[in-house]
């Protein structure tokens, strides 16, 4: 695949819900590309339709118009090459299955032979540092650990695109920093493409190679910002860089403008 062929391509995607007082336009028109191996953060004011966008990307919700292409094929149902990590860790894991079975179930659905499946599960769970918890139930784990299980499940699925929906919004700050570094590590180790949705500006700048700033509803891409921070990121040093502060201030300003409704066409 050529370097400049996008892996994920979103074209003029829009979503309108039927509402009590006429249709509600959740997403105006969104277009962007994600290239293989990128880590793209999507950030926007709360209520801007991030989750709707993500559900359309994942084939869980049909868009009203426009299209999502993954690896050249139109997404109309949940694609094989995509794995999701949801914000609600406590509700996205099967409480009746152990950690091992939670991670294994998607592989079983795909028909991966048993031995191979078990090995993949153990590898993935080890990758997120939960090897000791394979046979516990998710609800016996802390919130952060549950989200690690969800990440392990996504990793074991061996997707080309890993889509994460505000995965750390409900965990405490300490755990959050650890999980952010985990995402960076998984991204680098596995060479997977990551799409990371967040409402946290710092998080988007710290994690992303690129940040897409969304406007408020009806949503468009307000800015597509390349993050020119060094590839080696560290919670202490990276966040202390003057460039980090500049970028986060810039994104912050954009979000504020988005909230006021001053949608500005994206400029590179």
Partner 1 sequence: MRTTARRALVSVGFAAGLPALLVAAWALATQGTTSLYFPSPARVAQAFTRTWLAPETITGDVLPSLARFGIGVLLSIVIGVVAGTAIGATPWLRALLEPMLEFFRAIPPVVLVPVLMLLLGIDDTMKLAVIVSGSVWPVLLNTIEGVRAMDPVLTDTSRSYRVRGALAYRYFVLPAASPQIMAGIRLCLSIGLILMVISEMFASSSGLGYQIVYFQRQYMVAEMWSGILLLGLVGVVVAAVFQLVERRVLHWYHGSREVARG
Partner 2 sequence: MTQQTDMVNGSRPGGGSPGTRAVPVGPGAGRPDAPAGAAPGAPADVTPRAPRPGGRSAGPAAGRRRTGRPGPARAGGSAALGALGVVGCVLTWEVVALAEVVNPAYLPRFTTTAARLVTELGTPRFWSALGDTVVTWALGLAIAVVAALVAGTVIGLVPFLRRATRSTVEFLRPIPSVAIIPLAVLIAGLSREAALVVVVYAPFWQVLIQVLYGVADVDTVAQDTARSFGLGWLRRLHHVVLPTALPYVITGFRLAASIALVLTITAELVIGNPGIGRQIDVYRSAPDAPGLYALVLVTGALGLLVNLGTRAVERRVLHWHPSVRKEGAA
Q: Cα–Cα distances in Å, from 136 out to 41, 141, 151, 152?
A: 32, 8, 16, 14
By the rule CB under 8 A, 19 interacts with partner 2: yes
Q: How many residues bind partner 1 (CB under 8 A)?
A: 29
Residue 114 binding target from partner 2, partner 1, none, CB below 5 to 8 Å by type: none
204 in Cβ contact with 41 (< 8 Å): yes
Q: What is the phi/psi pair of residue 145, to 5°?
A: -70, -35
Closest separation in Å from C-beta 219 to partner 2: 14
By the rule CB under 8 A, 146 interacts with partner 2: yes
E strand map for the chain:
8-17, 24-34, 39-43, 65-70, 73-74, 82-85, 161-165, 193-198, 210-214, 219-226
By the rule CB under 8 A, 114 interacts with partner 1: no
Quote the tokens at residue 200.
């946290």
By the rule CB under 8 A, 95 interacts with partner 1: yes
Residue 121 or residue 205: which is nearer to partner 1 going by CB?
Answer: 121
- The radius of gyration computed from the CA coordinates of the chain, to the nearest angstrom, equals 18
* Best CA proximity match to 32, nearest among 3, 57, 62, 55: 57
* Best CA proximity match to 208, nearest among 10, 60, 34, 65: 34
Residue 8 or residue 83: which is nearer to partner 1 going by CB?
Answer: 83
By the rule CB under 8 A, 139 interacts with partner 2: yes
Burial of 260 (0-12, 13-18, 19+ CB in 10 A): exposed
**Residue 26, Cα to own-chain centre: how many angstroms?**
19
Closest separation in Å from C-beta 83 to partner 1: 7
Q: Which 152-171 positions form the footprint of partner 1 (CB under 8 A)?
A: 153, 157
By the rule CB under 8 A, 18 interacts with partner 2: yes
Distance, CA of 210 to CA of 38 (rounded, Å): 8
Region near partner 1 per CB under 8 A, out of 11-19, 55-63, 125-133, 206-214: 55-63
By the rule CB under 8 A, 148 interacts with partner 2: no
Quote the tokens at residue 84.
């999701």
Residue 118 binding target from partner 1, partner 2, none, CB below 5 to 8 Å by type: none
By the rule CB under 8 A, 90 interacts with partner 2: yes
Which residues form the interface with partner 2 (CB under 8 A)?
17-20, 26, 46-47, 50-52, 55, 60-61, 87-91, 95, 138-139, 143, 146, 166, 169-170, 199
Which residues form the interface with partner 1 (CB under 8 A)?
55, 58-60, 78, 80, 82-84, 86, 88, 91-97, 101, 105-106, 108-110, 137, 139-140, 153, 157
């Amino acid at each position: 695949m050529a370097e400049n062929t996008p892996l994920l391509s979103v074209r003029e995607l829009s979503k309108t819900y039927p509402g009590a007082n006429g249709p509600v336009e959740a997403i105006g028109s969104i277009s962007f590309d994600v290239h293989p191996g990128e880590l793209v953060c999507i950030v926007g004011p709360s209520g801007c339709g991030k989750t709707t966008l993500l559900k359309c990307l994942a084939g869980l919700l049909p868009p009203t118009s426009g299209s999502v292409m993954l690896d050249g094929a139109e997404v109309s149902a949940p694609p094989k090459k995509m794995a999701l990590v949801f914000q609600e860790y406590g509700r996205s894991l099967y409480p009746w299955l152990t950690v091992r079975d939670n991670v294994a179930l998607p592989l079983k659905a795909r028909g991966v032979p048993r031995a191979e499946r078990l090995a993949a599960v153990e590898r993935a769970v080890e990758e997120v540092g939960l090897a000791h918890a394979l046979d516990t139930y998710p609800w016996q784990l802390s919130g952060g650990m549950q989200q690690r299980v969800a990440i392990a499940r996504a990793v074991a699925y061996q997707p080309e695109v890993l889509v994460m929906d505000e995965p750390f919004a409900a965990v405490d700050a300490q755990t959050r920093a650890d999980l952010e570094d985990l995402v960076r590590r998984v991204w680098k180790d596995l060479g997977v493409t990551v799409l990371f949705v967040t409402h946290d500006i710092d998080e988007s700048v710290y994690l992303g190679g690129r940040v897409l700033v969304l406007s408020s509803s009806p949503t468009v891409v307000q800015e597509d910002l390349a993050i020119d921070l060094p590839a080696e990121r560290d919670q202490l040093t990276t966040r202390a860089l003057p460039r980090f502060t500049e970028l986060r201030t810039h994104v912050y300003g954009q979000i504020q403008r988005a909230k006021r409704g001053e949608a500005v066409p994206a400029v590179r």
